[in-house]
Structure 1
Amino acid sequence: MSEEDPTRRRPDPGAGSDVPASGASGSGRPEPGRSGSGQAGSGDARSDRGGADRGGADRSGSSRAGADPRSDSARTGSRDSRADRSRSGRVGSGGARPGRGGSTRSSSERSSGERVVSDRARRTTRTRSRRRDPRRGKIIRRRIVALVVVFGTLGLLYGVYFTPLLGVRSVEVLGTKDLTKPQVLDAAAVPSGNPMLTIDLAAIRDRVAALNRVASVNVSRSWPATVRIDVAERVAVGVIKTPGGAHLIDHTAKDFATVPSAPAGLPELQLTSSAITDPTAVAVVQVLMAVPEKIRAEVLSVSAKSPNSVVLALSAGRQVRWGGTADSPRKAAVLAALMSQPGKVYDVSSPQLATISNP
């Protein structure tokens, strides 16, 4: 009987927990032909680490018995760390088998939980920041002030437009000479008590302007409760004498009034018609207005048979033959120069060939 090789000795069954769990490959499957020799050394490993480590314990017991103690201790530590990770995986996943799938589920669950907690914390932070934000109070106060201003403005507008709060209480008439204030007020017909902003100023103006003596009129509001009417009356530049009285004619040839007798200082317009549509009447009035003011004061009468044959009779028996309305400014300048010379008839109908004659 030969002497037993020390390197082939079987390991002590009681020391199986100290033998490394796996070989260099780390595959976890027992090698063929070595299952019998590894069963004795893997009993304690079966109870501590589960069936997944049985093959590694058998192989380490049979093939690594004579290996370097330092490598054995390294392998033992690696096996223990894998066993610990396996146990933690089973606990964290509710008893699931250790491995990559369980670890993935555990990680996703942890991520989902962390997101839920993070969302809740974020909402809580926002809520607290809103409650503590002093700007919210300022915004609310500003909105309240804006609403008060809006409703106050609406109330004021309603009071001004639809109530007698700012109604008409008086009417002021200015600029009258021959017209009387009652005549203007009767024509204006301003509704008393109506809101100032609803008064139709244009309608009042048109009614007052319909008076013959009114040349122009301006109607305005004088706050808080007065309507102001400014009147400009027509000014007579001539008079047409008729059996029924003297008709006053203004610078537009309008017959705006009839008086019992002609006012002093007005020249007589010797016309058959006083209508402003009559071209002869219009020409007479235009020539009279074109005469220099100093000479106009000496005009006694103006006559014309046609628009181009206007003749002015002056004091002291003098006469001015004017002709038509063409070149009236030049004729007026020439006449002013001729009047410095003695004469009876001054003909400026052709200003280039003006003449003075003594018939």
Structure 2
Amino acid sequence: MTPNSSSGPGRRPGRSSSPRAATGRSAAPRRKPGGPSSSGKSTGKPAAKAPRPTERKPERQPERKGGRKPTAKVGRPVSASHSTGLLPQYAPARTRPVVSQTSAQRFAAKVRARRRRRVLITTSIVLVLLAGGWGAIFSPWATVEQVEIAGLDRVKETDVRAAAETELGHSLLLARTAEVGGRVEQLRLVKNVQVSRAWPGTLRVEVTEREPVAALPSSRVAGNSTSGTGRGEMLMVQLVDDEGVVVETRPARSTPKGLPRIDVALGQKQSVENLRATLAVRNGLPKNLDDRLTAIGTSSPDGIWLKLAAPLKNAPKRTVLVQWGDSENGAQKAEVLTALLRQKARTYDVRAPEMPSIAS
């Protein structure tokens, strides 16, 4: 046995050349609690087990509002006074307001100023509307002071004024222009009327009179003295417009130049229908045919005929006869007749415009 060996009990272990000895730690094994001693001696009684330290469970702390549990601090046990709430609870410090009192006052002042401005604008608009309404209805310059009439030739001005001057003294804005126009249109020679307001204080009436388009021989005859020795008879004609309304009655010899004659037998059963059909054809003729028209007539609504001046330089008074038929397809018949007139003939038949014919 060497001097450095550590086999005997009670001896201090000597230095060894093992790596454990080099670290400075003891090479003796650790004792287990309750196990046999390293000396190898046994007392005969089992060794008592060392009591385990009791584990203390942390007490539950009251949950905060919002459902979030407080996080336990690591490494520091919670004392009984803190867990049971024995320590006084201090209120949180009062936070500083976001808007200062000065800012709130400025904001309230702006709101009041905006409200006053809105009330002032509304009041001004209402006053302006009231003033404008009073000026347009009750002011003197908005009252009907005079009536202007235009477009009269055959119609008497006194008749028109009698129908329009009922509005004198009334408000120009509230003048009953429709009623005035209706009363003026009741005059026989008035075809159309337009009533308008002209500021200040003027009611304007524009009349469109009926114009004659044909001369209708009248069944009425008038006596006429010749040289003061006897009495004779003279045929009269009625000048009618495009609607058949009689505009004027005069002697046949004083018929206006260029006005065609209508040969329709009056007083018969279909005289009104014949006259309307003849006027419909007369109003639908193009200008090249209307300028050459000398007479138009019918004995039935589908038997209308025309007399046109022939395009002959040597015989300007010569006329040609055109069998027109009814008043349907007027544009097509006029186009076909214009083409046929290039051929010399006495009679032109366009009653069937698809199959026209001429006769010498």
TM-score tier (shorter): 0.5 to 0.7
With the length of structure 1 as denominator, give the TM-score of the two structures: 0.58
Q: Is the 8 A contact 2:167 2:176 kept in 1?
A: no
User: Deviations for 1:221-275, whole angstroms, at most 9, x for unmatched residues?
Assistant: 12222222222222211121212643222222x2142322353131121223499
Point out where structure 2 has 5 or more consecutive residues left out of the alignment.
Answer: 1-84, 222-235, 309-316
Question: The residue matched to 1:158 in structure 2 has which SS?
Answer: helix
How many residues align? The count is 249
Partner of 2:331: 329
- The Cα of 1:141 is off from its aligned counterpart by 4.7
After superposition, residues 114-125 of structure 1 pair within 5 angstroms as none
After superposition, residues 295-310 of structure 1 pair within 5 angstroms as 295-310=289-304
Question: The residue matched to 2:331 in structure 1 has which SS?
Answer: helix
Q: 2: distance between equivalents of 1:137 and 1:210?
A: 63
After superposition, residues 86-235 of structure 1 pair within 5 angstroms as 133=109, 136-137=112-113, 139-235=115-211
Partner of 1:66: none
Partner of 1:355: 357
Q: 2: distance between equivalents of 1:288 and 1:183?
A: 31
Is 2:267 the counterpart of 1:267? no
Output the amino acid matched with 2:242: H
With the length of structure 2 as denominator, give the TM-score of the two structures: 0.58
Q: 2: distance between equivalents of 1:332 and 1:249?
A: 23
Question: Which of these residues, 242, 259, 284, is aligned with residue 251 of structure 1?
Answer: 242
Is 2:278 the counterpart of 1:284? yes
Q: 2: distance between equivalents of 1:194 and 1:277?
A: 48
User: Deviations for 1:135-178, whole angstroms, at most 9, x for unmatched residues?
Assistant: 53454255234324313421331342245441112222223333
Alignment CA distance shift 1:218-1:185 (3 Å): same
User: Deviations for 1:315-346, whole angstroms, at most 9, x for unmatched residues?
Assistant: 51421111111221111111112222222211
User: Deviations for 1:179-219, whole angstroms, at most 9, x for unmatched residues?
Assistant: 34433222333421211111011111111222222222221
Q: 2: distance between equivalents of 1:312 and 1:336?
A: 13
Alignment CA distance shift 1:260-1:199 (3 Å): same
After superposition, residues 31-50 of structure 1 pair within 5 angstroms as none
- The Cα of 1:303 is off from its aligned counterpart by 1.7
Point out where structure 1 has 5 or more consecutive residues left out of the alignment.
Answer: 1-99, 109-113, 115-121
Q: 1: distance between equivalents of 2:341 and 2:217?
A: 29
Q: 2: distance between equivalents of 1:155 and 1:237?
A: 53
Question: The residue matched to 1:331 in structure 2 has which SS?
Answer: helix
Partner of 1:38: none
Output the amino acid matched with 1:293: K
Alignment CA distance shift 1:338-1:155 (3 Å): same
Alignment CA distance shift 1:325-1:233 (3 Å): same
User: Deviations for 1:78-114, whole angstroms, at most 9, x for unmatched residues?
Assistant: xxxxxxxxxxxxxxxxxxxxxx9xx99xx99xxxxx9
Alignment CA distance shift 1:207-1:276 (3 Å): farther
Q: Is the 8 A contact 2:264 2:271 kept in 1?
A: no
Q: 2: distance between equivalents of 1:277 and 1:230?
A: 34
Partner of 2:305: 311
Output the amino acid matched with 2:175: I
Output the amino acid matched with 2:241: D
Q: 2: distance between equivalents of 1:204 and 1:235?
A: 22
RMSD: 3.6
Q: Is the 8 A contact 1:165 1:195 kept in 2?
A: no
% same residue:
26
- The Cα of 1:128 is off from its aligned counterpart by 5.6
Q: Is the 8 A contact 1:168 1:227 kept in 2?
A: yes
Q: Is the 8 A contact 1:292 1:336 kept in 2?
A: no
Q: 2: distance between equivalents of 1:306 and 1:344?
A: 23
Output the amino acid matched with 1:312: L
Q: Is the 8 A contact 2:143 2:169 kept in 1?
A: yes
Alignment CA distance shift 1:144-1:290 (3 Å): closer
Partner of 1:238: 214
